[in-house]
Amino acid sequence: MISELEEGKKVLLDERSEMMQQIATLERNLEEASKTAHEKHSALQNQLSAVTAAKQTTEEELAAERCKCLELKNDKESVKEAYEVEIEKKNQELKDVHTCLDDVAGEKLALEAQLAASQSEQQAVLERCYASSAENENLRKTIADLRRRLEESQAALHELGRENQTLQLELEKLLGRKWTEDSDVISCSLCQKEFSLIVRKHHCRNCGQIFCNECSSKMAPITSNKKPVRVCDSCYNELGSK
């Protein structure tokens, strides 16, 4: 019993060690998530700087285009069309930048949610670790109950095996017996008295052979029928000895 308790204690210590490893893993994951969020934030700042520079460059290019428009009064329509195309292009670039910023913001929110989930999971692991000490007694009771149920199951299995062996013997004995036809016999199988209009034939419901009334006058329950039926004297003695 002491060795079993020590084994249960060892299992609990192993589970506690595994939980502490899980906590360390979660802390590493949390640190990596924080690092990734910081890197994303830095990348976002770099992208914002690049967008600002691109915007400034675009504004400078637009100013240059305006100068060209003033210089190219003779080709006003062509310059206007080229200007509109360029404006549309720059607006599309700005839209793309805003879309990129939205994606980065979404990734940031996802990382924050992941960080919160990791913290919740770490708290749950800590609670399970604290609760494991209170489960020692329940574990010992469970082990004792399982051992008792195992012993009962083994005893029941042994009893079922003996009953099955008895039933197999009975089945083999019954399968080996054949119902004798009336036309196959002319005399009692026990006393050899010949059958006639006065000496009638009677089947033994246990062995299936044919006997006269005197040799098959007894009644007894058989395996296939619990109600008493006609049996011969030999089967009556055999059934009575069981």
> pLDDT at position 172, please?
45
Residue 110 scores a pLDDT above 80: yes
> pLDDT at position 162, please?
57
CA atoms within 13 A on the CB side of 133: 4
CATH, range 177-241: 3.30.40.10
Yes or no: say if 183 and 210 are a contact pair by the CB < 8 Å rule: no
> pLDDT at position 220, please?
92
Q: Could you tell me the pLDDT band of residue 163, with boundaries at 50, 70 and 90? A: low
Residue 164 scores a pLDDT above 60: no
For range 221-230, the mean pLDDT: 86
The Cβ of residue 212 has, within 10 Å, a number of other Cβ atoms equal to 21
Q: Could you tell me the pLDDT band of residue 242, with boundaries at 50, 70 and 90? A: low
> pLDDT at position 168, please?
46
Lowest mean pLDDT among 95-109, 150-164, 200-214: 150-164
* Closest to 190 in 3D by CA, of 235, 229, 230: 235
Q: Where are the domains of the chain?
A: 76-176, 177-241
3-state helix vs strand vs coil in the chain, percent to 5: 75, 5, 15
Q: What is the pTM assigned to this prediction?
A: 0.31
Q: Could you tell me the pLDDT band of residue 160, with boundaries at 50, 70 and 90? A: low
